[in-house]
Chains A and B, each alone.
Chain A
Amino acid sequence: MDMPVTKKKKLGLKERYALMTRGLGWEPSYQPIDDIFPMDRFEGIKIHDWDAWEDPFRLTMDAYWKYQAEKERKLYAIVDAFAQSNGHLTLSDARYINTVKLFVNGFAPLEYMSHRGFAHIGRQFRDVGPRVACMMQSLDEMRHSQTQIHAISNYNRYYSGMAEFRHHHDYLPYLQVPKSFFEDAATGGPFEFIVAIGFAFEYVLTNLVFVPFISGAAYNGDMGAMTFGFSAQSDEARHMTLGLEVIKFVLEQDPVNVPIVQKWLNKWTWRGVRLLTLVAMMQDYMLPKRVMSWAEAWEIYFEENCGALFRDLARYGIVMPPCVEQIRLERDHLSHIAWCHFYQARGTSDFHVWLPSKEDMDWLSAKYPDTFDRYYRPRYEYWAKCEAEGKPFEATAVPMQCQVCQIPMMFTEPGDPLTLCQRHADYKGEQYHFCSDHCRDIFEDEPEKFIQSKIAGHEVFKGNAFRPGTDPTAEGFNPAAEALAFFRIEHGRDNGLHNGSTDERNFALWRGLAKAND
């Protein structure tokens, strides 16, 4: 890259970092510091020496602008070239486009929420070091959201399911899973937010989204997604380091912090893993050309990576979260349970689904020898038979959802894959439902927070999923059709099966035209 390197540096990296962070701060003289930073104490975290916190990359604002600008130049050169050369027609298969839909609807809005969250806590920490790092992260997250939406807008010109991504993220039932994850974090205090996002979102989740999945996007010919993905992940490396440094710093400051941080790690490991259900499904079922299975990615980025982190944190008395036991039992089931659910509930999704082919199923049974043939292949074969007979199976009922993770109650008992898992709790005369012991534990720790969860299925029954002016008492009123209209899903175009969809047809037509002269 053509970036001038200053020959004679006047100051070393450590000195520059000190001057460009704490050197810019000052002691307030006419307002008490607790009034200026009112939010960094109520969570019970005790900090005695803020100076002990340092960004390990020692990134200063001048270097930040320089390298981020270089990343943007590289990104847009490729995004533009991909669009100018009709890059969407070089994809491995039209089914791949559905992963892009899931990405823009489910993930790009989270980046925006992360921008808001870091802008907020960047104001709330009383020390300059973390404030500067949070400000940079806030700008990064805004960049991620914008570049993802921008790159994917090239697909939106040709294919369905993306035009209403913001509305879908706010209202479509399955998208309440990612949305509620971030709302939970952003309504915590600043320390919980940075532990939640720095650890669960950056260290665990983005590694699994951006590394194996984006590598998969490259493998499937999607230069646009590859470029924004890797460009974003180059920032994530910094973010996860920031998050882990904050965790280490907090643990070192005072022993009273240890049980608080442990509780957050327990909670956010579980919340992160529940959210990853969508990624597991993308990786095992939605990439036409596959790089590695979900279970394999899991081994590297969770077992190995989180194992290393928790061994490192053991010196402070931190232990592996108890939910990890159930996570291990679910590893070989997760993607299959999710894809089976989305296949059946395809009417309310904004992407298309399909049954795995014989070749797909052989790959899945090789990757999941203990589970796939026994529990999942028979379902797919049955549904394939139904499709062949012209009677495809579809579930049209509104599913019951977990009050915490908001995922439909589709998971099975840990260690018993043939029994549905459901948990319940009573609070102030109402009954609440959960997908697992761990989601119930999270609820019971903060019931006043989670009784406010907006559950998409409940909203339908409460009549909140209809457009203004809708009259449910009118003759011939069709609640399902009205709910889809409110969700802005065009039935038969945005949802349903990939085979026979407009997207499948157009992709084949345009690819044919791209290779011919008339």
Chain B
Amino acid sequence: MSSTVFLALQANDDTRHVIDAIMADNPAASLDPQPAMVRITAPGTLVVRRETIEELVGRDFDLQELHVNMISLSGRVDETDDIFTLSWDR
């Protein structure tokens, strides 16, 4: 069984589309809204894709902008220009 990974983000106007993009790119993910924040969990792996976010926000997006609204995470991190991956899978 895969361990759960999660990404917690502040719930605000900057993250609205980011959250939508993550949910679109990760069919197995589930969204847990809490006061002022959301926690997105997924079995094994969660990906955040720059392109999907750019389509939704209608502008160029640098994945490192995530740092501003990121609250917490669980899983091994790998970040490139195009994709931010959280994973416990080998």
List the interface of chain A (C-beta within 8 A of B).
1, 3, 5, 7, 9, 12-14, 56-59, 63, 67, 70-71, 74, 207, 210-212, 214-216, 218-219, 226, 230, 233-234, 236-238, 240-241, 244, 248, 291, 304-305, 307-309, 311-312
Contact = CB atoms under 8 A, between A and B. Distances in A.
B35 A305 contact: no
Contacts, number: 103
Interface residues of B, number: 33
Contacts of B80: 12-14, 58
B79 interface: yes
Contacts of A237: 67, 70-73
Interface in B45-90: 59-62, 64-65, 67-81, 88
Contact of B71 (A74, A210, A307, A309): A210
Nearest to A69: B68
A82 to B, nearest CB: 14
A233 B80 CA distance: 22
B68 A70 contact: yes
Contacts of B76: 56, 244, 248, 312
Contacts of A234: 10, 67-71
Contacts of A7: 60
Given A12-B81, A63-B64, A67-B68, A219 B35 contact: yes
B36 A210 contact: no
B4 A13 contact: no
B89 to A, nearest CB: 10
A449 to B, nearest CB: 32
A5 B81 CA distance: 12
B14 A1 contact: yes
A1 B65 contact: yes
B67 A238 contact: yes
A207 B75 CA distance: 14
Given A74-B68, A230-B10, A218 B35 contact: yes
A57 B62 contact: no
B37 interface: yes
A236 B3 contact: no
A311 B88 contact: yes
Nearest to B63: A13
Contacts of A248: 76
Contacts of B4: 304, 308
Interface centre among A207, A230, A309, A311 (most CB of B within 10 A): A230
B67 A230 contact: no
A13 B14 contact: no
Contacts of A305: 74
A56 B77 contact: yes
B21 interface: no
A230 B71 contact: yes
Given A70-B68, A215-B36, A291-B35, A56 B73 contact: no
15 contacts: A1-B65, A3-B65, A5-B62, A56-B78, A58-B79, A58-B80, A59-B64, A59-B67, A211-B71, A218-B35, A234-B70, A234-B71, A240-B72, A309-B74, A312-B76
A240 B75 CA distance: 10
A311 B72 contact: no
A238 B79 CA distance: 12
Nearest to B67: A67
A57 B69 contact: no
Given A13-B81, A56-B77, A212-B34, 10 more contacts: A9-B81, A57-B79, A67-B68, A70-B68, A71-B68, A211-B71, A215-B34, A218-B36, A233-B72, A308-B3
